[in-house]
Amino acid sequence: MTLIWGILNITPDSFSDGGRFTDPEVAVAHARLLRAQGAAIIDVGGESTRPGSDRVTPEVEQARVLPVVEALTDAGIATSIDTLNADTAVAAVAAGARIVNDVSGGLADERMLSAVAGLDADIAIGHWRGPSSDMYAKAQYTRAAQEVASELRERVRAAAAAGIAPSRVIVDPGIGFAKSGTQNWDVLRGTDEIAALGHRVLIGTSRKRFLAEALDDAVSGALTQQRRDLATAVTSALAARAGAWAVRVHDVAATRDALAITAAWDGA
């Protein structure tokens, strides 16, 4: 069964839920709800990676995430740390995080891969072509799925060179990062090419703009969050059928149901 990662953004500026969970007690309560709804991992992030977002210092990021990771660890809830910073990764794993989720695949902080090599944690390596502030300028592909797979292969090799065993690696094709709407769909249709790299595959489509574009021409504000969550659940179920090991979502309950119905259809 494909695992569900529940998204917990402890930020004021994330694109769909910024500011909702900046209070640690509120964040922990929401994580408990996500866990009860079926999330196997709570992905805790303290820096927005939405298009055009500004970077924050590791100190600010850690002040946001570490109390929550510690509280969830004490409660027996598994967490990953969504970060571009090696120092935050190290601190979060010390606080109990089991996975480092680096959407840049170690490119944003050159110390990341060597730092993770010395930790007792796995790493999710994302496909990335630059910071959120200008990533769409780099959305140039001839064959998107094949090029993303090739670039991920290079990051996996870099991880191995840093001392990270292949069994610790998860790959994420970076849906929404330096990709147009059409390119995102091309990559999703090529999930089998990502899986052919031989690592666990993490897919994250949750509430992203390309889903809205597929549903309605009036993207700016016309679509409700509920419609995006339904679209997320459908793409997550299709990703699971294509071989995804896990999907990263905001609405865990809807995705849990979509995965269960897909499994029933397939006789699993």
**Per-residue pLDDT reduced to its tens digit, 10-33:** 987 555 655 677 788 999 999 999
What is the per-residue pLDDT for 223?
62
Tokens of 101: 């989720």
What is the per-residue pLDDT for 173?
98
What is the per-residue pLDDT for 210?
93
What is the per-residue pLDDT for 29?
95
Whether the pTM exceeds 0.85: the reply is yes
Tokens of 3: 């695992």
What is the per-residue pLDDT for 224?
78
What is the DSSP pairing of strand 79-82 with strand 41-45?
parallel
Using a pLDDT cut of 90, give the percent of the chain over it: 79
Structure confidence by residue, pLDDT tens digits, 39-69: 999 999 999 876 656 778 999 999 999 999 9
Q: Residue 62: which residues within 8 A CB-CB, separation 6 or more?
A: 46, 87, 88, 91, 92
Q: What angle do CA 159, 165, 169 make, to 5 degrees?
A: 65
User: What span, in angstroms and rounded, lies between the C-alpha atoms of 180 and 216?
Assistant: 16
Report the catalytic residues: 208, 248
Q: How far is CA 263 from the centre of its chain?
A: 23
